[in-house]
Structure 1
Amino acid sequence: MVLGSLLAAFVVAFTQGAVIPALPLFRRQLGVSASSAAWLVTAFMLASAVVTPIAGRLGDLLGHRPVLLACLGFLAAGGALAAAADHAGWFGGVLAGRALQGVSGGVFPLTFGLARRWTPPERLHGVIAALSAMFGVGGALAMAVAGPLAGALGTAALSLLSVLITFLALAGVLTRLPRGAAPARTGRHGTVLDLPGTLLLAAALVALLLGVTQGRTWGWGSAATLATLTGALVLGAGFAAVESRSPEPVVDPRLLRGRGPALMHLATFVISVAMFAAVTLIPQYAQTPVHAGYGFGTSATETGLLLAPMAVAMVAAAPLSTRLAARAGSRAAFRAGAALAATTLAALGAAHGALWQFALAGTALGVAYGFAFASLGGLVVNAVRPDRTGAATGVNTLLRTLGGAVGAQLAAVIITGSAAAPPTEAGYTMAFLASAAVAAVALALSTALPRKRTPGGRHPTRSPSRLCAARRTRRDSARP
């Protein structure tokens, strides 16, 4: 079960991040502008943001395994379409393929739901941490591998590699995941899904991500940007009103109530902003030509090698995060990751004149985000009932996607100030320091998170014997 779920989560994260370092190659091969090429990232994120909470809810209602297979099917079909269109030089087809691949974003909440249902309590925390880490590990490996692969074999090779890994994940799901992973059922009132809420959520997320990702191109004060973001607010308010009255909401408002869940989701969003800002800044700075007065003029292959330590560190950090969470709780693991990220980004803002500084910082960031992302699954699982795991992790994954969009756009806005202005070294310095400040905000939020019991049912700082003694004391004191 674990291997199939890990493969599914990995391939989705890999596919999402694979095109980022190869965007200049896509732009040249397909003959499109930089803003048009950026839609290859935006299309995936839009589809993923819309589908993720819906897939989580459908998994809770209909069974996680069949919905997971459907998401992976869309991933394979989208990859095949993108590869064929890329080979033919058809940008519209590549864009449509990326949007189809984005439907696979629903894999993350589904794998969490499967883990909670089928994993023994004593192993649950480790499995959840590994699944959470795949979000960062897959993206980091994509950033490291995509540049050299696309440079050697062409951009279509990225889509073909995604299809190949997807088939491996499908084989793992079909052979390793047990059937009947959740009882097929309808809602309490005979409905499977809240259709009005689903449509409002989709429209609100599309408007929000369009405004965030295109604001720099359209102009932040332009009528198009303001109208899009205003529409997102109105649609979001309508969604909240509908969901508060729905007997079977696609996003249960109860999942967002209370200090613990609210702070947990907010911390997820904030740390995602910091991470995606960093992974956007580092390759752009490294590929800046030397004649600009800064940068190293690295090729796509060299940039991938520069990012490789980050990917390796994320992989290595996941089991360490699991051990720390088992001993001190998921909150402690998240705090360690956020603190290391803030420190590293601040140091990178102060010193970034040599490649070795970026390699060292990338390694530290890999550890930081490996700790942070590996802990998020445990925080979510500890905060909700088992039958709401899919929906809750869907909301959390949605916030990671939104945080990624905001982080990448925040970095672009700071380093340039406008779409026409060329990046400056001072802009990069400010962007690294701003990312450090965002990570520090995530650290501050994490200190306010309430302590939770581990998935196995024990408090991370109290032994079973002490718990039994405490229960006996309370029982004896209650006797007349």
Structure 2
Amino acid sequence: MWILVAVGGLVLSARRSLRRSGTVRAPREAAGHRQAGGQPAVAVLLLAAFGVAACQTIVLAALPVLARDFEVTTPSATWLLTAFMLASAVATPIAGRLGDQYGHRTVLAAGLGCLAAGSALAAVGADAGWFAGALAGRAVQGLSGGVFPAAFGLARATVPPERLGRVVAGLSAMFGVGGAVGMVAAGPVVGVAAPAWLFLGCLAVALLALAGTARLPAPGARGDRARIDVPGALLLTAAVAGLLLTISQGRLWGWSSAAILLTASVTLVSAVAFVVTETRTREPLVDLRVLAGRRLAPVSIATLVVSVGMFAAVTLLPALAQTPSAAGYGFGYSAARTALLIAPIAAFMVLAAPLAARLTSTVGARRVFQSGAALGSVSLLALALAHDHPWQLASAGAVLGIAYGLAFASVGNLVVGAVDAGRTGVATGMNTILRTIGGALGAQIAAAIVAGATPAHAAVPSESGYRAAFLVAAVIVFLALPAVAELPRRAEPTRT
């Protein structure tokens, strides 16, 4: 029940903060609009978003333990992370489209159902030492990525316009907060219990959130039931899956190997065909004209680079902390002790989320996002220059937590403000995909830099590799500042 304790405190804290700031309605304010935007609805949306994000990263710190239990290589065990990301990247835009057409509550419930079913299968696989079963369970879990666009769509449909910004900020923050908590929780769990408990915790949260969907308002049926763009969905699946496969397996298969070259070629052809198909289809899965618009394109670029920097950091920090001190750096920490070292990232993300909600309503989403990106770049630069003592990593992690709490909480408002209401699901879905792709890119870029700076046959990576990787991550995150510089200070929803 590791995640229930964390999410219980998180949701209660978020609810109190949102209530004080006027985001959620008291019951008497919701008269004539049954449960719309009320405390139960907001709490369910926060819980659902948090649970999906936490379950995505829950295996990250436990991959070496899972590799030993399943008797597979560490690269093979990384598929337990990649499978979730692949399925999530594919399911998210489809769920956004379905939610816009058929109702976001139905899509939200379906996503949570996939999270529950996948968690149960993964737990059975982990308990029985059945790697294929655990891998399949992780892929089914990943289908819950559609929870994010559904949650944004429900918020926009039910929360009053003057309070929508804070709720969207809270939902956006859950992506980063949940991911950080998942990574932190994994170490202690596998230290005291079997790895199956990682997935049982996800199951408990999924069932709790699924039960809460009954408290969400059900919008009336819409008359414009457009067909689903099946060719576009298949091409998008091939393009995204190929990209993530290339990123995740490039170092293992060899960047110039036939397998990688073939995968990259399929990715490129699928991406080009997807663009051609979507621009010629009357009812496309993704309206590329909207995504390439003057307001949404900069937000997408900024989301990608910030995600790259975040996942680079959270990949590097545990590896650095667990490096034996005999190497001249590192602390030789266990997985559980490493979790305590990076816990400030999650803790300060939680603290930053309600702060971001308030700041967004006063200074605007763009300035809040830029503040987060600036702090993130500074903290990564600090890690590149000073990582000789545990307190330095913990302090930089705290600043990083604030940085990404602000950035992820505000980017949702930037996305929502860049499109009209009918395209909220698709736009937020694609933004979630960019976070997933950015995470995969960040992890692989960081690993490649460290490996490239390490002499052949060395027992441990070179410290210079970590310095270079942190520095590159700092520069990448800094690029988010000019990316959104021309956006309006306040992100007002478009009416087109």
Q: TM-score, normalised by structure 2?
A: 0.89
Is structure 2 residue 180 aligned with structure 1 residue 178? no
Name the SS of the counterpart of 2:61 in structure 1.
coil
List per-residue Cα deviations over 1:378-431 (Å, max 9, x = no partner): 001111111110011001001110000000100110011289764211100100
Is structure 2 residue 475 aligned with structure 1 residue 437? yes
- The equivalences for 1:37-436 within 5 A come to 37-174=77-214, 176-180=215-219, 183-187=221-225, 191-417=226-452, 422-436=460-474
Does the 8 A contact of 1:186 with 1:192 survive in 2? no
Tell me how far apart the structure 2 counterparts of residues 82 and 387 of structure 1 sit (CA, whole Å).
36
Tell me how far apart the structure 2 counterparts of residues 405 and 448 of structure 1 sit (CA, whole Å).
28
1:49 is displaced (CA, Å) by 0.4
Tell me how far apart the structure 2 counterparts of residues 317 and 330 of structure 1 sit (CA, whole Å).
14
1:325 is displaced (CA, Å) by 1.3
Task: Tell me the residue number matched to 1:460.
Answer: none
Does the 8 A contact of 1:65 with 1:177 survive in 2? yes
Tell me how far apart the structure 2 counterparts of residues 434 and 177 of structure 1 sit (CA, whole Å).
43
Tell me how far apart the structure 2 counterparts of residues 456 and 402 of structure 1 sit (CA, whole Å).
26
Name the SS of the counterpart of 2:286 in structure 1.
coil
Identity, % of aligned pairs?
Answer: 56
| Structure 2 letter corresponding to 1:309 | P
Q: 1:420 to 1:277 in 2, by over 3 A?
A: farther
Tell me how far apart the structure 2 counterparts of residues 149 and 220 of structure 1 sit (CA, whole Å).
35
Q: TM-score, normalised by structure 1?
A: 0.92
Does the 8 A contact of 2:418 with 2:492 survive in 1? no
Q: 1:184 to 1:64 in 2, by over 3 A?
A: same
Structure 2 gap segments, 5+ residues each:
1-40
Does the 8 A contact of 1:121 with 1:455 survive in 2? no
1:451 is displaced (CA, Å) by 3.6
List per-residue Cα deviations over 1:440-460 (Å, max 9, x = no partner): 111221223344444699xxx
- How many aligned residue pairs are there? 452
Which structure: larger Rg?
1
1:184 is displaced (CA, Å) by 4.0
Structure 1 gap segments, 5+ residues each:
458-480
List per-residue Cα deviations over 1:297-317 (Å, max 9, x = no partner): 111110111111111100110
Does the 8 A contact of 1:329 with 1:454 survive in 2? no
1:186 is displaced (CA, Å) by 4.5
Is structure 2 residue 49 aligned with structure 1 residue 9? yes
Deviates more, 1:221-230 or 1:121-130: 221-230
Does the 8 A contact of 2:413 with 2:491 survive in 1? no
Does the 8 A contact of 2:304 with 2:437 survive in 1? yes
Q: 1:453 to 1:288 in 2, by over 3 A?
A: closer
| Structure 1 letter corresponding to 2:213 | V
Tell me how far apart the structure 2 counterparts of residues 328 and 354 of structure 1 sit (CA, whole Å).
37
Tell me how far apart the structure 1 counterparts of residues 290 and 429 of structure 2 sit (CA, whole Å).
11
Deviates more, 1:282-291 or 1:234-243: 282-291
| Structure 1 letter corresponding to 2:152 | F
Does the 8 A contact of 2:56 with 2:84 survive in 1? yes
Q: Provide the alpha-carbon RMSD of the alignment.
A: 1.6
